[in-house]
Structure 1
């Protein structure tokens, strides 16, 4: 089995495993965890109700006694006011507990499909707890906070955002060489990408075409073969044999890039009374585009022995890496998991004996 075939098999297995065992199981687990957490909070609130109402009753009785001392009311009136305050406190305890019991019953019965429950408060500055949204609406799944900050649902949410995470294999395409002849190990070289992206629907009445854009940090690592390491000779970068046996020689670049992709694929339109959404949950998505940005760091890490001592040498900078980074990239996704490829159009080094361009193939997750 040649290297390319092994690479394809590895990626297919990774993608299949992540899809079957990760997506649905993790989503269900998150939903259940959030609902269970809210039920736990409500149980805690219920346990505190009696203490809260007793505290309020104590304050009321203190004020009544003060009015009695100031001869604003008679002893009989004071006693009646205290009895009325105690009656109100008892009813409040009973009603507030019943309200929380109903909320718990609703959560247990409806789970994450229940939309909105409000926490007990007598004024307008209380708290709101909302469960809703998720994959069908592209809304945040859960909100708990001040009522005034819970923004109403927009009728048409044209732009959404998500976190982008990708990882996989990394190498270099070199003029006149096959990938099998690369000076970098296939399985030891890898990449990772972490970023934030926005996605905007292009047309008013269809979600088939979207623009996806944002920023990402990319880490590209090369595991150098054959006891070689990178050497800068008067600004010219080349691979040379290390003077002694070397156990590890790795080179890494760090880039800040700004990707833009034209994404297309089917979606499901969900129409409600006061809003509508396009959902791409479990839909096929294709993204084609590119990126441009800056190299913000480079490092070579060497491990070897010298006079019987283990040496770890980290060399930062000085490798004449191209400061401006640009390339093409694309992905094919089912739901939030994609097969992802990116290729730097700029040579890795400013001045190198043979031009080499970074290429990465892996799995990409867009977690909205």
Structure 2
């Protein structure tokens, strides 16, 4: 019995020693793995900053080639960029080490698992926002090349709005032949444009293109209304005393304009931008598109009642719209004119071409 007891005790001691040895081995391997992970992270920080420096140097070289800056200025900028990236490497590695020490000292969740592998992505490389360390909670991977600000945007976009007077040239004559009230007929146009600089250097000329919604309103004189009879549309006198007789035509068009004039250049170490702030400009071009709606709006009194009618018909208006336009101004504001080369009505005795004059605003 004593012999059996000795064997059992010896077996238990052997198992205990094996377990302790295995744990120590695992801990040693995990520690080694952790150290490897830390070294790899520091290497990634250095690689990312070097990639970012490479992008900056390429941008500076492009500026020298385009003669935007001198060769000497370019060399100075490269030296400044190299110093900045070297300090970034030093600071980011120190921040990582301090953050890791803080977590270990305060028994906070470690970024490494039991095998020494990194398990929390937010510890990987650097701050989510390097410009805001006050709300720092961890680290995250940042691809330095992809997050670089693009030095020069050749194409930008902007909101466009225009409005003013609207009328028509009838039978190739003048506005005097128009059946519409000059001071009460108007237009509105709103759209979104892209603007691309065409020159290799400088900022003029530019091409502007996009999508716009045009609304042209014609207020009729002399108690007249439009009447559609099959494929013909005529002007006829209304039976009641009209307070309002207005034809409204809506078009969806693609405008294309060539714009000339210097823009103000805003230059920073990592980017250059061009804006129209306070600069003279003028544009020439045109537009083409489709009619999307036609409506006749009437207001009159009948048997003592105020009557409002909205009649939606095509009134044989042309489904295809195209024309020319021009604008001239300073900054965001311009005097704007457009003229439809396509006739408003098709196959009708009344031949007219829309003409508009107003103010245009390009908010870039």
Tell me the TM-score normalized by structure 2: 0.61
Q: Give the equivalent residue in structure 2 for 1:251.
A: 247
Residue 210 (structure 1) aligned to one of 206, 214, 217: 206
* Larger Rg computed on CA atoms: 2
Instruction: Classify 1:189/1:123 alpha carbon distance in 2 versus 1 (closer, same or farther; 3 Å).
Output: same
Find the partner of 2:153 among 154, 157, 164: 157
Could you list the per-position Cα deviations for residues 62-120 of structure 1 after superposition, in whole angstroms to 9, with x for gaps in the alignment? Answer: 99xxxxxxxxxxxxxxxxxxxxxxxxxxxxxxxxxxxxxxxxxxxxxxxxxxxx66662
Aligned equivalents of 1:313 and 1:257: distance in 2? 28
2:277 equivalent among 264, 278, 281 = 281
Is the 1:339–1:362 Cα contact (8 Å) retained in structure 2?
A: yes
Question: Is 1:122 the equivalent of 2:118?
Answer: no
CA contact (8 A) 1:125 1:147 kept: no
Mapping of residues 263-302 of structure 1, within 5 Å:
263-302=259-298
User: Does the Cα contact within 8 Å between 1:208 and 1:265 map onto a contact in 2?
Assistant: yes
Residue of structure 2 in register with 1:347 after alignment: 343
Aligned partner (choices 167, 187, 192) of residue 183 of structure 2: 187
1:260 aligns with 2:256: yes
Counterpart of 1:180 in 2: which secondary structure? helix
Where structure 2 has 5 or more consecutive residues not aligned to the other structure, the ranges are 1-105, 110-130
Runs of at least 4 residues of structure 1 off by over 6 A? 60-63
Gaps of 5+ in 1: 1-59, 64-115, 127-145
How far does residue 176 in structure 1 lie from its aligned partner after superposition? 5.2
Matched with 1:362 is 358
Asked if 1:336 corresponds to 2:336, the answer is no
Pick closer, same or farther for the CA change 1:61–1:151 going to 2, 3 Å.
Answer: closer
CA 206–235 in structure 1, closer or farther in 2 if over 3 Å, else same:
same
Tell me which residue corresponds to 1:168.
164
Distance verdict in 2 for CA 1:315–1:274, change over 3 Å: same
Q: Deviations over 1:203-222 (max 9, x none)?
A: 21121100000000000001
Measured in 2, the distance between the counterparts of 1:301 and 1:193 equals 20
| Alpha-carbon distance in 2 for matches of 1:235, 1:351 | 7
Relative to structure 1, is the Cα distance of residues 176 and 122 closer, same or farther in structure 2, using a 3 angstrom cutoff?
closer
Distance 1:176 1:336, change over 3 A: closer
- Distance change in 2, residues 1:176/1:281 (3 Å): closer
TM-score (norm 1): 0.60
Greater displacement, 239-248 / 176-185? 176-185
CA distance in 1, matches of 2:344, 2:317: 6
